[in-house]
Amino acid sequence: GPSLTLGAGELLFLNQHARHQVARAGLEDVGVNFIVLPPFFDYALELIGTDNVLASFLLEGLRRGGGEISCLHFKVAKAPQVQNLVENLLWSLACPQQNAGRITQATMGLLLLQLLNHVENLSSRGELPGGMVLAALREIEENYREADLTRLAQERHVSLSYLSSAVRQATGRTFKELLREKRLKKAAQLLAETSLPVEDIIAAVGYENSSYFYRRFREDYGMSPKEYRAEKPLQSKDV
């Protein structure tokens, strides 16, 4: 399977059903495993809510098959708040004290809250950035008039910033850029193949602001919609 290198100070969350093996450690390698038990999940979800990638990961871990997100890799070596909380967890293991269970639970809850602020430093194995990115691209292709990444993120129970970042990482373009490209291509097709008025075409591809459409069309095609139509003889007429 694919390999993953865990750097110093980074965190790796593994689904309990994920199949994995650890490569032989070197003399300077130190790894610490924390096992998060299901009873903690209720407390965690109360803290972080259910509309983000961490919540999705925790909930999918309860499935018998393990869900679609097998691991989350947080590259947070330079995040002092996260590092301090992990250090506190390590101290709780090395130096047990009264109320250790409650202190550890609260510290882990704070850690999850901090990690929500670092989804830009997250990579995953499983559905993201695969299946959900494909769903976002399908949204553009099939529903370009009303395509909405916010709604898609809510349906997939992940944060908007996380899904947006996954699309950008996988395609090199933002969702808005991909959607704009699709809408303008469709508009160009309608200009070339139909005699629909330009304003009707603008509405048909999902734009309400005509001036914005004209500006973007000229940027992409180097001419106005009417000039583009003049260069493209009608290939078919409206039925």
Segment among 14-28, 52-66, 176-190 with least mean pLDDT: 52-66
Q: What single-letter DSSP state applies at residue 119?
A: G
Written as six digits, the tokens of 203 are: 């509405």
Query: What mean pLDDT do residues 174-184 have?
Result: 92
Nearest to 41 by CA among 63, 20, 65: 63
Written as six digits, the tokens of 67 are: 């869900």
Write the pLDDT tens digit of every residue in 58-74. 776 666 555 556 778 88
Query: What mean pLDDT do residues 99-122 have?
Result: 84
Percentage of the chain beyond pLDDT 70 is 84
Query: What mean pLDDT do residues 178-204 have?
Result: 94
Write the pLDDT tens digit of every residue in 119-160. 655 655 544 445 677 778 878 888 899 999 999 888 877 788
Nearest to 22 by CA among 75, 107, 32: 32
Looking at residue 122, its pLDDT comes to 61
Strand order in the sheet with 69-74: 11-14, 69-74, 122-126
Query: What mean pLDDT do residues 20-43 have?
Result: 83
In sequence order, the β-bridge partners of residue 72 are 13, 124
Q: Is the pTM of this model over 0.75?
A: no
Query: What mean pLDDT do residues 115-121 have?
Result: 73
